[in-house]
Structure 1
Amino acid sequence: MDMSERIKRRMRALSLKSVDLVKQTGASKGAISHWVNGTSQPSGENLFSLARCLQCSPEWLLTGEDEDKKSEVREANAHWHPGFELWDNDTPLRDDEVALPFFREVELAAGNGSTFIQENGDFKLRFAKSTLKKSNVDPQYAACVTVSGDSMLPVLQHGTTVGVDTSKKTIIDGKMYAIDHDGMLRVKMLYRIPGGGIRVKSYNNDEYPDEIIQPDQMSNFKIIGWVFWWSVLNVWNN
């Protein structure tokens, strides 16, 4: 099922017509027609607007991942909590918390053939132990880094923080991984291909087409770990 089929499926489930999509997304009739017919795909804010209109996630529209879960119509999917609890480096950890290293400036060290990340400063991010346990993440193998660029839009914006589990390097098709590719730290979706190669995929596939890593190129390609979490703060421009 491609994106146009997923769009049509949600339209049928919600009894929506093309004119409804035009009104709710603000896109033109021509753009909606192209999306529904599969001649083009929405991106950026258009993708988010369409996902809100169809009551599904942008990721599901793009990939169909977790289709049964992400395409269901749900209500009351958020709960209000009155404010944030403030803390600093001197605030002690609770019994149910763990602090993961946060590499705000990331460098990949080379020279001896090994790959490791050098920490700049003493930044930490706090996670509930129960949260990591649900994802089967051992804190001793976890760290957080920032993503740069727009190759993973709309899922990962520039400046998004991601959590990486360095103990999980086996490729599961369609999952996101942090990789060392020719000395560059990158976050991409990975797929296995026949013959032992790897397909490297970006969400922003129009601007960043798939890359194929052949078996004889593996010496310049290393999987650092599986991306188990991501978060980003939006900026209010008034």
Structure 2
Amino acid sequence: MEMDDVRATIARVAAERGASLSELSRLLGRNPAYMQQFIERGSPRRLSEGDRATLARYLGVSEAALGGPEARELVAVPRVDALASAGPGGLVDDDRGDGAMRIDGALLRQLRVRPGQASVIAVAGDSMLPTLADGDTILVDGGDRRGVSGAIHVVRHDGVLLVKRLARVPNGVELVSDNPAYAPIRVDGTPDIVGRVVWLSRAL
């Protein structure tokens, strides 16, 4: 936002509240002419973060309206209370939620994932190395259960959540690991696809 717009916003909202510029200056612990100089002379060029936050609270406006950064829209995405196995074992999926991970709404839109169909799951094992590592957190689009060949999916198999690539074969699919040390798992018929993996978070 242009600083001229910020100054105009402060002057307008202060007038609507019946607050003088000298009152705003005292609110900030500044000399009485501080806000008048800011608005009429452009000195200082910008408000400090502390002054901006104080004025925003007092005037009842967002910090973004006073030149601060736009507030991000954070979406609470449920954690599935099970580990998605990228190895030979895994935990039985009991379909309970375990808290939530807050993800930028802009990222979900970019990935074309609807918030109500998203979930996050922790990865266990090394069968998807180097793509996915033990401890990674994956974002799963539960709205995409098409089973695209070659894409990474979370699949429920024998009561366990597995994270694998799908490979179409006659009369079924194979659950394929990126780590060549692990053999494909044959699934006859239609696999129980939880969703497609669209994003990962990894600690350095």
Please confirm whether the aligned pair reaches a TM-score higher than 0.5, indicating the same fold.
yes
**Alignment of structure 1 residues 60-139 onto 2, 5 Å:** 94=71, 96-103=73-80, 105-106=82-83, 107-109=92-94, 117-120=95-98, 122=99, 124-139=100-115
**Alignment of structure 1 residues 14-25 onto 2, 5 Å:** none
CA 1:132–1:182: 2 relative to 1, 3 Å:
same
**What residue number does 2:120 align with?**
144
Distance of 2:158 and 2:112 partners within structure 1: 29
Q: By how many angstroms is 1:208 displaced?
A: 0.5
Which residue identity is paired with 2:174? Answer: R
Distance of 1:118 and 1:104 partners within structure 2: 5
Distance of 1:166 and 1:209 partners within structure 2: 26
Distance of 2:76 and 2:159 partners within structure 1: 28
Whether 1:213 aligns to 2:183 is no
CA 1:214–1:101: 2 relative to 1, 3 Å:
same
In 1, are the aligned partners of 2:72 and 2:104 still within 8 Å (CA)?
no
Q: By how many angstroms is 1:172 displaced?
A: 1.2
Cα deviation per residue 1:56-92 (whole Å; 9 max; x = unaligned)? xxxxxxxxxxxxxxxxxxxxxxxxxxxxxxxxxxxxx
The answer for unaligned runs of 5 or more in structure 2 is 1-70, 84-91
**What residue number does 2:178 align with?**
203
Q: What is the RMSD computed on CA atoms of the aligned residues?
A: 1.7
Aligned equivalent of 1:169, options 145, 148, 166: 145
Distance of 1:95 and 1:203 partners within structure 2: 35
Q: By how many angstroms is 1:95 displaced?
A: 5.2
Which residue identity is paired with 1:119? Answer: G
Q: By how many angstroms is 1:151 displaced?
A: 0.6
Q: Report the identity percentage.
A: 31
Distance of 1:118 and 1:96 partners within structure 2: 25
Distance of 1:185 and 1:104 partners within structure 2: 11
Which residue identity is paired with 2:162? Answer: R
Cα deviation per residue 1:188-236 (whole Å; 9 max; x = unaligned)? 0012223x3102110102x201222222xx4xx41001111112113xx
Distance of 2:126 and 2:115 partners within structure 1: 29
Cα deviation per residue 1:14-59 (whole Å; 9 max; x = unaligned)? xxxxxxxxxxxxxxxxxxxxxxxxxxxxxxxxxxxxxxxxxxxxxx
Q: By how many angstroms is 1:103 displaced?
A: 3.1
Q: By how many angstroms is 1:105 displaced?
A: 4.2
TM-score by length of 2: 0.57
Which has the bigger relative contact order, CA under 8 A and spacing at least 6?
Answer: 2
**What residue number does 2:47 align with?**
none
Q: By how many angstroms is 1:104 displaced?
A: 5.4
More strand per residue: 1 or 2?
2
> Could you say what secondary structure the match of 2:113 adopts?
coil
Distance of 2:82 and 2:183 partners within structure 1: 27
Whether 1:186 aligns to 2:162 is yes
Whether 1:225 aligns to 2:202 is no
The answer for unaligned runs of 5 or more in structure 1 is 1-93, 110-116
User: How many residues end up aligned between the 2 structures?
Assistant: 126
